[in-house]
């Protein structure tokens, strides 16, 4: 393949006419400090606030643990032995005395007292795996030899997951808010500003395809198109599966029926015509200017569950899983459901679709007389 770069002899006369500059020349084999700072700024801008906060929190914990465990400041790259020690310190295992981990109690207490840990004891499996993933990413960003890719680390993590699974210690999926429990939540929403907001938020999140809490928090009027009375199209510009903001038809999510009516009532009552759709409502009835945080969206779901007297492991994600589960119950086409949710994997959606399939399996009723099925 021929190169498109002009030959040096052709360019030389032209380059010689360029005026001299007072900017020192760069080294082609090394990235400048200013370029590094610019690329870091772009990365921080591209990442969600939740991701950045979670990433920084994990690295702070690594630094504090390393300081207390090894008596010196952490420096990358870390040897594989340090990552294995981290797993041993924070992963629970069965011993004669019960469940134990290797983190000394005095160090554990210091980490809790300094605010690096929430409570004494082993980390949850998901937290431990996340912190190792963050360390792995930190090595990859700096193009360093990654200890998290070592076969011994991978094997230890595999053993950890299997051990937790055998004793039922892995985090279970959040309960699904299907149509019936969702209606119970909506019944707790009165006609106050807070009630109107929460009703609109719950219906917007559920009926537009089970939006993630970050997507609800980031919803803006500029991306909402009114089609008629109580009918909207919401342009989901950014999502977990479209972080680059690619313009595509499936970005458009309908907000119609009860969801459209609730959204229209909230926007009119709150006087919102631009900016964030879902905002804080103060005790004096004033509507704030800033958007709700993803944590606030999660808290709203939990608060409404408590008011409705619904017991279970519910969160904002329960709206998403509830939408998909209800779609399965009502025999919605898989392709239509995925168009609404934005799932890229059919297997993930089928997991919800099949949630209640065992009871509907005719092979489980071979001992029953024909016509006795319910």
Mean pLDDT value of segment 146-171: 90
**Residue from 203, 210, 305 nearest 264 by CA:** 203
**Is the backbone of residue 98 left (phi > 0), alpha (psi -120 to 50) or beta?**
left
Which tokens go with 163? Answer: 């051990």
**pLDDT for residue 312:** 86
* Contact criterion met (CB below 8 Å) for 79 and 147: yes
**pLDDT for residue 151:** 96
Interior angle at CA 94, CA 90 and CA 100, nearest 5: 40
**pLDDT for residue 13:** 77
**pLDDT for residue 296:** 95
How many Å apart are CA 270 and CA 291, to the nearest integer? 13
Write down the pTM of the prediction: 0.64
Say how far residue 33 (Cα) sits from the centre of its chain. 32
pLDDT > 80? residue 15: no
pLDDT tens-place string over residues 41-70: 787 666 666 677 788 999 999 999 999 999
How many Å apart are CA 365 and CA 209, to the nearest integer? 34
Mean pLDDT value of segment 223-244: 83
CA atoms within 13 A on the CB side of 282: 6
* Contact criterion met (CB below 8 Å) for 109 and 120: yes
What is the C-alpha R_g of the chain? 27
Structural domains present in the chain:
48-166 (1.10.150.130), 179-358 (1.10.443.10)
pLDDT tens-place string over residues 168-215: 877 666 788 999 999 999 999 999 999 999 999 999 999 999 999 999
- Confidence class for position 7, pLDDT limits 50, 70, 90: low
pLDDT tens-place string over residues 312-369: 889 999 999 999 888 888 888 888 888 898 887 888 777 776 665 565 667 777 887 7
Lowest mean pLDDT among 50-64, 121-135, 254-268: 50-64
- Confidence class for position 25, pLDDT limits 50, 70, 90: confident
- The larger pLDDT score, comparing residue 364 to residue 251, is at 251
- The larger pLDDT score, comparing residue 332 to residue 1, is at 332
pLDDT > 70? residue 77: yes
């Amino acid at each position: 393949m021929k190169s498109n770069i002009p030959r040096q002899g052709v360019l030389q006369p032209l380059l010689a006419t360029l005026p001299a500059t007072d900017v020192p020349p760069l080294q082609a084999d090394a990235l400048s400090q200013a370029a590094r700072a610019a690329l870091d700024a772009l990365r921080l801008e591209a990442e969600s606030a939740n991701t950045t906060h979670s990433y920084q929190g994990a690295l702070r914990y690594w630094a504090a643990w390393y300081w207390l465990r090894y008596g010196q400041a952490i420096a990358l790259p870390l040897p594989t032995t340090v990552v294995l020690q981290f797993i041993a310190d924070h992963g629970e295992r069965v011993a004669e005395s019960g469940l134990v981990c290797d983190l000394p109690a005095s160090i554990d207490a210091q980490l809790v007292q300094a605010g690096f840990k929430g409570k004494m004891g082993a980390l949850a499996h998901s937290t431990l795996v996340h912190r190792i993933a963050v360390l792995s990413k930190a090595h990859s960003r700096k193009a360093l030899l990654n200890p998290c890719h070592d076969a011994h680390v991978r094997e230890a993590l595999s053993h950890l997951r299997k051990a937790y699974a055998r004793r039922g210690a892995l985090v279970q999926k959040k309960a699904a808010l299907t149509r019936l429990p969702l209606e119970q939540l909506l019944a707790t929403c009165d006609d106050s500003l807070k009630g109107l907001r929460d009703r609109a938020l719950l219906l917007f999140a559920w009926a537009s395809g089970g939006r993630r809490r970050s997507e609800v928090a980031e919803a803006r009027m500029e991306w909402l198109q009114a089609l008629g009375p109580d009918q909207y199209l919401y342009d989901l510009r950014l999502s977990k599966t479209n972080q680059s903001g690619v313009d595509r038809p499936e970005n458009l999510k309908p907000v119609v029926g009860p969801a459209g009516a609730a959204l229209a009532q909230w926007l009119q009552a709150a006087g919102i015509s631009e900016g964030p759709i879902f905002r804080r409502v103060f005790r004096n009835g004033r509507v704030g200017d800033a958007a709700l945080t993803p944590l606030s969206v999660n808290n709203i779901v939990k608060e409404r569950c408590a008011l409705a007297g619904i017991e279970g492991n519910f969160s904002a994600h329960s709206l998403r899983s509830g939408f998909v589960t209800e779609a399965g119950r009502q025999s919605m086409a898989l392709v239509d459901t995925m168009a609404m949710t934005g799932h890229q994997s059919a297997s993930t959606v089928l997991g919800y679709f099949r949630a209640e399939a065992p009871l509907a399996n005719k092979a489980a009723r071979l001992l029953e007389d024909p016509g006795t099925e319910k």
